[in-house]
Amino acid sequence: MLRNEGSLGGEGSEGEIVSERKAVVLLSGGLDSTTVVAIAREQGYSVCALSFDYGQSHAIELDAARRVAREFGVERHAIVKVDLASFGGSALTTEQPIPKNRSAEAIGQGIPVTYVPARNTVFLALALAWAESLGATDIFIGVNALDYSGYPDCRPEFIAAFEAMANLGTKIGVEGKRIEIYTPLISMTKRQIIEEGLRLGVDYGMTVTCYDPSETGEACGECDACLLRLKGFLEAGVDDPARYQR
């Protein structure tokens, strides 16, 4: 089910949306996806932001996504409900404990229990469907292959394979328009991502990265996502404006 959070673009004389070329940007409300929204805006795109209520154990990140969408004045913000929790298989959609205080070496090895089976495949497929309905050929996603937690669907080869499939399996693709999946963060460290976002004026205080936040939105400071985020801010020499429990 798609829930349109409203159109924030300008209007023409007959009520039509006046915009630059459109791009669908996957927006989780976290640090990476928020940076990608800022990058897409700087590149002249009119952003149609797409977020997912996929059965994650907390909805605080969706509140953050709404804040980000308002802050950047995106043309449209849609939240799609996809019940990945009914399949299980991840600590993010079940009662399975979230790993805490792992070393950098441990975070970089293997696929963690926070991996949600085929999540980026599902999300990109729905982004592709929305993009095609909008007549857009550009999709942005904030995957990262350096400072990440070992997810197989964050790798360049996955993105390349999905892009090839998108051009083979859509009307817009077979009629000659090329669909592009943009991953501006894929080869950047967390420090570089933060520095780029700060250059673009991103307020990271409105983002939520934590896998296990409190009911009031405070980050745990101990899960893999928090540790990678904190490491990035430390290396950038900037205080993290997010609220932490500890």
pLDDT at 18: 41
Token pair 């441990």 is found at 106
pLDDT tens, position by position, 186-232: 999 999 999 999 999 999 999 999 999 998 899 999 999 999 999 99
CA distance 156 to 143: 9
CA 36 to chain centre: 8
78 vs 68: CA distance, rounded Å: 13
Q: What is the pLDDT of residue 16?
A: 39
The per-residue pLDDT for 7 is: 37
Number of H helices and E strands in the chain, helices first, is: 8, 8
**What pLDDT is attached to residue 133?**
97
Q: For the chain, give the longest Cα–Cα distance.
A: 58
Burial 131-140 (b: 16+ CB within 10 A, else e): bbeeebbbbb
Whole-number pLDDT of residue 4? 55
The torsion region of residue 27 among left (phi > 0), alpha (psi -120 to 50) and beta comes to beta
88/119 Cα distance (integer angstroms):
12
Residues above pLDDT 90, as percent of the chain? 83
pLDDT one-digit tens code per residue, 72-108: 999 999 999 999 999 999 999 999 999 999 998 898 8
- Quick check: helix, strand or coil at residue 217? coil
Cα 34 off chain centre by: 7
Contact 165, 179 (CB under 8 A): no
pLDDT at residue 10 above 90?
A: no
Taking 3-state DSSP, the helix, strand and coil percentages for the chain, each rounded to the nearest 5, stand at 40, 15, 45
Task: Specify the pLDDT at position 105.
Answer: 86
CATH class of the structural domain 2-236: alpha beta
Confidence of residue 17 (pLDDT cuts 50, 70, 90): very low
